Amino acid sequence: MAGKRIVCIGGGSMYFGYLLPDLSSVEGLKGSEIVLYDIDREKSEIMAKFGARIAQQSGSGMRVRACHELTQAVDGADFAISSIGGAGASGGNVYGTDAHVQDVLIPAKYGIYQLTADTAGPGGMMMALRSVPAYIKICREMEKRCPNVILLNHSNPMATVCRALNKYTAIRTIGICHGVQIGINFAARVLGVDPHELEVLWIGTNHYYWLLRMRRNGRDVYDELVRRVQQTPEHQRPFCDAISHAYGVRILFPDDSHAIEFYPFLAQIRDPKQMPYGMEKHPHYIFGGRDGTTWAQPQDRRAQLKSMAESLDKIQPLEKPSDPAVGEGLGVLIDSIVRGRRHVHIVNIPNQGCVSNLPPHAVLEMEAVTDSCGIRGIVVGEAPVALAGLLQKRIAWQELVADAAVKGDRQLALHALLTDEMAIRPELTEKMLDELLAASKDYLPQFAQGR
């Protein structure tokens, strides 16, 4: 089988330090061409050098190169894989950039103390407002130069980015994450079993899902899982445990810092020292006081590139691809589509009736089956009433943010902030929004044009 052309958007991201070895280990992708495109040219060149080494050591026959022109990079691509931070050529992790720090510190002035700020809340919205226009630009080129490409998006806010691309472009988009797999692996460790033995049913959107059923060898192990978590301190996640107990349905073990941002509680405290559930000890906690942050200053440019190269030097080829049942399994996913092989994966795609009481367009994280046409979701049924209500509101927020990002519409952005669970009084929301937009103005040309 002839190799495929795969373009990596944001190709200097350290995500590809994980992904290129995965792609090189997949038998069906041998001989493929990997093209790395990034607005940070030096990073893409470093990653291309790394990818060429991995390809040579693995014997995959892959050709890996950097390309500095978007039009040339996407031309004729069969697959595109994206990892865009939405904060320019940051040279490092998006979570330490000036833009994202302001996403956290500005809302804190108004009493919203976010932790992760990449999926919900003001921080999740701002990340989308910055990154969606870049994605739209890329997709417009792909519509002209590789209209049959399948885009595999790894960027946050996952569901909002995917919804924007599904709604406003003709490019088939699949969101790739590993949150559900982390939850299943966690449950397997608690139960002391192989995660492949678990039959799991869940409903939710990226970074927020509820566990409806878990069976092993035909036997229900749901109650046993809950009991073991309650009895073992090292397995406990205080917020997820509390909210699961209240609803009588188990959240599928996301990190507390993700899960709590889908609720209003972080906007109900008077001071960051009052963070609930021990959150002040969480690694994502950044407040050194109301106007401070514990995040270290970013390295200078030369140190960033040196650190990146040194990290990549330590990475070796993989003996086998990432397993979709317990990891992202992106290489296997591409191979399954290429070969037209029916295989189950966990992806972020439009609902299309898989959860019957949620909108068809809603981007849910679900099991889906591949074939030569791509991937389609597996029917789950109805979401419990409480979860359906929570998700309906989240889906409305995603729609408002996607529309605001594409149109540069301040009013829609305001509506999104007021729809969010961490909403504050409208007059304060307007002030906060203006500060957030001003802090990211260099990344928001669509809003400048809309005024």
pLDDT bin (cut points 50, 70, 90) of residue 296 is: low
Taken in order of first residue, the domains within the chain and their CATH numbers are 96-116+176-297+340-451 (3.90.110.10)
Predicted confidence at residue 298, as pLDDT, reads 60
Q: Give me the sign of the Cα torsion angle 363, 14, 441, 136.
A: negative
Enter the tokens of residue 421: 């669970």
Predicted confidence at residue 451, as pLDDT, reads 45
Predicted confidence at residue 364, as pLDDT, reads 98
Lowest mean pLDDT among 9-23, 142-156, 230-244: 230-244
What are all long-range contacts of 446-449, with beta carbons under 8 Å and residues at least 24 apart? 446/133, 446/405, 446/406, 446/407, 446/408, 447/129, 447/408, 447/410, 448/408, 449/408
pLDDT bin (cut points 50, 70, 90) of residue 1 is: low
Give the range with max mean pLDDT: 109-118, 369-378, 392-401: 392-401
Predicted confidence at residue 290, as pLDDT, reads 38
Percent of the chain predicted with pLDDT > 90: 83
Predicted confidence at residue 294, as pLDDT, reads 53
Average pLDDT, the chain: 92
- 284 or 57, which is more confident: 57
Residue 254 has pLDDT above 80, yes or no: no
3-state percent helix, strand, coil for the chain, nearest multiple of 5: 50, 15, 35
Arithmetic mean of pLDDT, 169-179: 97
Arithmetic mean of pLDDT, 373-391: 95
What are all long-range contacts of 353-359, with beta carbons under 8 Å and residues at least 24 apart? 353/379, 354/378, 354/379, 354/380, 355/203, 355/380, 355/381, 355/382, 355/383, 356/381, 356/382, 357/382, 357/383, 357/388, 358/383, 358/388, 358/391, 358/392, 358/395, 359/392, 359/395
Q: Are 123 and 103 in contact (CB under 8 A)?
A: yes
The position carrying tokens 């700020």 is 117
Arithmetic mean of pLDDT, 237-246: 94
Arithmetic mean of pLDDT, 254-263: 90
pLDDT bin (cut points 50, 70, 90) of residue 295 is: low
d(C-alpha 184, C-alpha 199), whole Å: 10
Residue 334 has pLDDT above 80, yes or no: yes
Predicted confidence at residue 85, as pLDDT, reads 80
Residue 47 has pLDDT above 70, yes or no: yes
